[in-house]
Chain A
Amino acid sequence: MQYLHNFGAYFLMVIEMFRKPTKWSVMKKLILKDIDDLVIGSIGIVSFIAFFVGGVITIQTALNIDNPLIPKSLVGFATRQSILLEFAPTFISIIMAGKVGSFITSSIGTMRVTEQIDALEVMGINSINYLILPKVVALTLYPFVISIAMFLGIFGGYTACVLGGYATSEDFITGVQLDFIPFHIVYAFLKTFVFAFILATVPSYYGYYMKGGALEVGQASTSSFVWTSVAIILLNYILTQLLLS
Chain B
Amino acid sequence: MIEVKDLQKSFGENHILKGVTTTFEAGKTNLIIGQSGSGKTVFLKCLLGLFDYEKGSISYDGRVFAQLSEAEKRTMRADIGMVFQGSALFDSMTIAENVMFPLRMFTNQSKSEMQDRVDFVLNRVNLSDAHNKMPSEASGGMQKRVAIARAIVNKPKYLFCDEPNSGLDPKTSIVIDNLIKEITEEYNITTVINSHDMNSVMEIGEKIVFLQLGLKEWEGTRHDIFKTENKAVTDFVYSSNLFKKVRKMYLTE
Q: B73 near A124 (CB under 8 angstroms)?
A: yes
Q: B91 near A116 (CB under 8 angstroms)?
A: yes
Determine which residue in A23, A25, A33, A124 has the highest number of CB atoms from chain B within 10 A of its CB, and name it: A124
Which residues on the B side are within 8 Å of A122 (C-beta)?
48-50, 77, 80, 82
Which residues on the B side are within 8 Å of A118 (C-beta)?
45, 50, 82, 84, 88
Which residues on the A side are within 8 Å of B77 (C-beta)?
122-124
Whole-angstrom CA separation of A118 from B91 in the bound complex:
14
Nearest chain A CB to B101 CB, angstrom units = 8
Size of the chain A interface, CB-CB below 8 angstroms: 16
Nearest chain B CB to A25 CB, angstrom units = 7
Q: A26 near B86 (CB under 8 angstroms)?
A: no
Whole-angstrom CA separation of A23 from B106 in the bound complex:
10
Interface flags, B11-54, vs A, CB<8A=1, else 0: 00000000000000000000000000000000001001110000
Which residues on the A side are within 8 Å of B102 (C-beta)?
123
Asked if B74 CB lies within 8 Å of chain A CBs, one says yes
Q: A23 near B88 (CB under 8 angstroms)?
A: no
Which residues on the B side are within 8 Å of A115 (C-beta)?
84-86, 88
Interface flags, B84-97, vs A, CB<8A=1, else 0: 11101111100000
Q: A121's contact among B50, B73, B78, by CB below 8 Å, is which? A: B50
Asked if B251 CB lies within 8 Å of chain A CBs, one says no
Q: A33 near B88 (CB under 8 angstroms)?
A: no
Q: B88 near A116 (CB under 8 angstroms)?
A: yes
Q: B105's contact among A23, A110, A114, A116, by CB below 8 Å, is which? A: A23
Nearest chain A CB to B66 CB, angstrom units = 15
Which residues on the B side are within 8 Å of A125 (C-beta)?
105
Whole-angstrom CA separation of A33 from B48 in the bound complex:
30
Nearest chain A CB to B27 CB, angstrom units = 22
Which residues on the A side are within 8 Å of B84 (C-beta)?
115, 118-119
Nearest chain A CB to B166 CB, angstrom units = 13
Which residues on the A side are within 8 Å of B50 (C-beta)?
118, 121-122
Which residues on the A side are within 8 Å of B73 (C-beta)?
124
Which residues on the B side are within 8 Å of A25 (C-beta)?
104
Whole-angstrom CA separation of A114 from B84 in the bound complex:
9
Whole-angstrom CA separation of A124 from B78 in the bound complex:
8
Whole-angstrom CA separation of A125 from B242 in the bound complex:
45
Determine which residue in A26, A121, A123 has the highest number of CB atoms from chain B within 10 A of its CB, and name it: A123
Which residues on the A side are within 8 Å of B86 (C-beta)?
114-115
Whole-angstrom CA separation of A79 from B227 in the bound complex:
86
Whole-angstrom CA separation of A216 from B166 in the bound complex:
22
Which residues on the A side are within 8 Å of B80 (C-beta)?
122
Which residues on the B side are within 8 Å of A23 (C-beta)?
104-105
Interface flags, B69-85, vs A, CB<8A=1, else 0: 00001100110101011
Q: In chain A, residues 96-127, which have Cβ atoms closer than 8 Å to a Cβ of chain B?
A: 110-111, 114-116, 118-119, 121-125
Whole-angstrom CA separation of A115 from B87 in the bound complex:
8
Nearest chain A CB to B82 CB, angstrom units = 5
Interface flags, A1-32, vs B, CB<8A=1, else 0: 00000000000000000000001011000000
Q: B105 near A119 (CB under 8 angstroms)?
A: no
Nearest chain A CB to B133 CB, angstrom units = 17
**Nearest B residue to A122, CB-CB:** B82
Contacts A122-B80, A123-B105, A123-B106; A116 near B90 (Cβ below 8 A): yes
**Nearest A residue to B84, CB-CB:** A115
Whole-angstrom CA separation of A122 from B151 in the bound complex:
10
Whole-angstrom CA separation of A110 from B86 in the bound complex:
12
With A115-B84, A115-B86 given, name 8 new contacts (CB 8 A).
A23-B104, A26-B105, A110-B91, A114-B91, A115-B88, A119-B82, A122-B48, A123-B102
List chain A positions with a Cβ less than 8 A from chain B: 23, 25-26, 33, 110-111, 114-116, 118-119, 121-125
Could you name 20 residue pairs across A and B whose Cβ atoms are closer than 8 Å? A23-B104, A26-B104, A26-B105, A110-B91, A114-B88, A115-B85, A115-B88, A116-B88, A116-B90, A116-B91, A118-B45, A118-B88, A119-B90, A121-B50, A122-B48, A122-B50, A123-B105, A124-B77, A124-B105, A125-B105
The 5 closest A-B pairs by CB, nearest first: A124-B77, A115-B88, A119-B88, A115-B84, A122-B82
